[in-house]
A = this chain, B = another copy of it.
Amino acid sequence: MPTPIEFYFDFSSPYAYLASEKIEALAARHGREVKFKPILLGAIFKVTGGAPLTEGLTAKGAYSVHDFARSARFQGTPFSLPNPFPIATVTAARAMLWLTRELPAHAAHFMHAVFRAYFADGRNISEPAVLAEVIRECGLDAERVLAGAAEPEIKDQLKAQVEGAIVRGVFGAPFMFVDGEAFWGHDRLPQIDRWLATGGF
């Protein structure tokens, strides 16, 4: 059984959202699965010295806002820059971890629902009430999932996942590993596609 593609993401990353809409079909074409691993970019940036693309009134920030939307149109994914942006995604990340452990068949669906709620529909998924709504729309028990997300064990697991990501060299999102090979950014999906087809190049 070939190893799954590891897909590190933060729910507040537009490029992670764009990649999340394409990675499973790409993986499936090569008989692979995807292991979705939530992280917190804020915690990673504290260590790596990175910053959100849109922080401050910079030319890069203005370009990025334009490029998010154009890249979304380019790949046919609904997108509208939410306000506020970026947001805290710790509760959604913990809920994702809990679901991955307890109801793994629902985890990917939940991830897509949260990403779309935020980046397609502009719903602020950092608010517990909004996140609960999205969980219910997935056909899940919001109180149970949010209680699970608050377990000390899950909190520790997220911390460990972030620390583990840093150790592996993750400094942004989406960050993907294919048989140990690191790829950063939704714009590396064509390279991943060829990597999977050829076993490396």
Binding site for B on A (CB under 8 A): 48-50, 58-60, 62-63, 66-67, 70-71, 73-74, 166, 169-172, 182, 184-185, 187-188, 190-191, 194, 201
Instruction: Tell me the complex Cα distance, A80–B110, Å.
Output: 43
Provide the residues of chain B in CB contact with A170, threshold 8 Å.
Answer: 59
Among A48, A59, A60: residue with most chain B CB under 10 A = A59
State the Cβ distance, A163 to closest chain B Cβ, in Å.
13
CB-contact partner of A194 in B58, B74, B172, under 8 A: B74
CB-contact partner of A187 in B49, B73, B182, B185, under 8 A: B185
Provide the residues of chain B in CB contact with A190, threshold 8 Å.
Answer: 74, 190
Q: How many copies does the complex hold?
A: 2
CB-contact partner of A49 in B50, B58, B171, B194, under 8 A: B58
CB-contact partner of A63 in B50, B58, B171, under 8 A: B171
Instruction: Tell me the complex Cα distance, A107–B169, Å.
Output: 40
Provide the residues of chain B in CB contact with A62, threshold 8 Å.
Answer: 169
Provide the residues of chain B in CB contact with A63, threshold 8 Å.
Answer: 169, 171, 182, 184
Are B60's CB and A48's CB within 8 A?
A: yes
Find the B residue at minimum CB distance from A60. Answer: B171
CB-contact partner of A184 in B50, B58, B67, B185, under 8 A: B67
Find the B residue at minimum CB distance from A184. Answer: B63
A-B contact pairs, 12 of them (CB 8 A): A48-B58, A48-B60, A59-B170, A59-B171, A63-B182, A63-B184, A66-B182, A67-B188, A71-B191, A74-B190, A74-B201, A187-B188
